[in-house]
Amino acid sequence: MTTIDSAALANAQKWLTTGIDNDTKECIIKMKEDNPEEFNDAFYRNLEFGTGGLRGIMGIGTNRMNEYTVAMATQGFANYIISQNPNKKLKVVISFDSRNNSVKFADITAKVFAANGFDVFIFEKLHPTPVLSFAVRELQCDGGVMITASHNPKEYNGYKAYWSDGGQLVAPHDTSVIEQVNKITDFSQVKSQQSNENITILGKDFDDIYLQRVLSLSLSPKAIEQHNDLKIVYTPLHGTGGQIVPRALQMFGFNNVHSVLEQSKPDGNFPTCVSPNPEEHSALDLGLKLAQIINADILLATDPDADREALAAKDHNSKWILFNGNQTASIITYYLLSQWQKAGKLTGKEYIVSTVVSSELIKRIAANYDVKCYEVLTGFKFIADKILSLEGKEQYIGGGEESYGYLIGDFVRDKDAVSGCCLIAEIAAWAASQGKTIYDILVEIYQNYGFFHESLLSIVRKGKSGSEEIVSMMKNFRENPPHTLLGQRIVKSVDYLDTAATQLPKSNVLQWFLEDGTKISMRPSGTEPKLKFYFGVASTLSGNDTIETHAALAEEKIEKIKEELHL
């Protein structure tokens, strides 16, 4: 029999004695009596407002995404913005994706901000995360909120908080906002309004402004003109991308785009995929089916808030393959730098950005063009922060991370799958203008810069006990690291909790390098109950070698590492 957790009981009692509605109170009492395990998980803690905002399972409870936790988080965020901008008329912009309750949570967020004296802009319908980031900058707002749980399963929703630069919160704002949110311990502390006073609706006209900026990123318009009939299959996975990506591709000049109809309608239940995550191969099954039927050139997919995209194309045996995030980032980097060089735009002050867990290949490509490659912690907010810190000093070209997120140009300060899809399609057209495919470009990159194979393992541990197990596993790897793996010495170990050694903000990341250049990284996910392991193996790809052969050998190494680490 499950025992009621004392912390859960205290949190639930506080809710029962404050201003929540009677139906919710009845549900709390019934949950405690009928399902104590669920009661404990729903109330044993407050849903943590982390450095990126909120993300959690929807439902009743202090540890759930609901109208009360969203309103309380918004009040704390509003209090902090006010504290940093005394005697100023404040502005904030809000957007939302297709998830269940996203419209409701966005409306609550808008009315809390408005009641606190903000001028509020909110999109009339669902819009991608990059458009929200762009809007913060374009409208000169003091903050922004995107209601989304990105690629999480349907049970989740979330709340991404943005600062005035259009990027997600970084130090010192991130921890300071958390402090203010944690001070809102009672729903009675929240200001809200019933009317739409001081709330402005953003419509299609704003999309036009954003899309013109996306169009300005094009580097090979002649190649698109020659291959405007490139056959593209696109799926938004029931998310926001279906409202804008096909239109963006059309503006670039592509007139042969085929949307996956079964996944084009926004739907928070994501009925055609277990998880609307473009990293999950099964999510792209319908897209691949259509691509095969019409003999497409490339397949593109975006996640629900259209900040991450996936690419698939045919290999030399006409077999469809899904490019991983590192491969796509490497192709984009190679294309951008080669075209900037061709146009005579590389002056020595340009740079790209990658993350510490991404492929070493990206750094090699940048070095070949004498372009700086800055490495930052995992999380696109750190890429945005790097752009902000170098404004007026150096020129950002592009950047990305292994988890399928990329940003070309700096008018957005978060991952942008809208511009990403357009640039990937342009790269395919550019390749076609040379009698090649985008897969050929990948092979050339490997031949010129070395073969790199990456793999990700996510160990899922849900609930309170799962969180504790993840903490224990990281503690054990720190205190009892292996001395060798694959019979090789660990020649370099990096603990990103040691800020003096890394010169980066403190982060719960461990990294080991073997003698042959193999890289192993591990970190708890900041948004899901997962411990993530990143493996990277390098080798040399000669003219007669195939990617498949080297990938198979690399996978054997990775499997041995997993065995030795008891994963």
Instruction: State the Cα–Cα distance between residues 470 and 140, nearest whole angstrom.
Output: 40
Q: Please check whether residue 523 is in contact with residue 447, taking contact to mean a CB–CB distance below 8 angstroms.
A: no
269 DSSP assignment: T
Q: Please check whether residue 241 is in contact with residue 278, taking contact to mean a CB–CB distance below 8 angstroms.
A: no
Q: Which residues contact 223 (CB under 8 A, 6 or more apart)?
A: 426, 429, 430, 432, 433
User: Could you tell me if residue 148 is left (phi over 0), alpha (psi between -120 and 50 degrees) or otherwise beta?
Assistant: beta
Smallest Cα–Cα separation from 97: which of 52, 129, 51?
129
Instruction: State the Cα–Cα distance between residues 199 and 110, nearest whole angstrom.
Output: 7
Residue numbers annotated as active site: 150
Tell me how long the chain is.
Answer: 567
Residue 317 has φ and ψ, to the nearest 5°, of -105, 15
Instruction: State the Cα–Cα distance between residues 149 and 305, nearest whole angstrom.
Output: 8
Q: Are strands 510-514 and 488-495 parallel, antiparallel or unpaired?
A: antiparallel
- Give the HSE-up count for residue 345: Cα atoms under 13 Å, Cβ half-sphere: 14
Instruction: State the Cα–Cα distance between residues 14 and 138, nearest whole angstrom.
Output: 41
Instruction: State the Cα–Cα distance between residues 158 and 100, nearest whole angstrom.
Output: 11
DSSP letters, 430-476, are HHHTTT--HHHHHHHHHHHH-EEEEEEEEEE--HHHHHHHHHHHHHH
Q: Are strands 350-355 and 298-302 parallel, antiparallel or unpaired?
A: unpaired
Strand-pair partners of 321: 313
Amino acid at position 313, single letter? A
Strand-pair partners of 201: 122
Whether residue 128 has a cis bond before it, omega within 30° of 0: no
Q: Are strands 309-314 and 298-302 parallel, antiparallel or unpaired?
A: antiparallel
Instruction: State the Cα–Cα distance between residues 493 and 298, nearest whole angstrom.
Output: 39
Helices (H) and strands (E) in the chain, counts: 19, 21
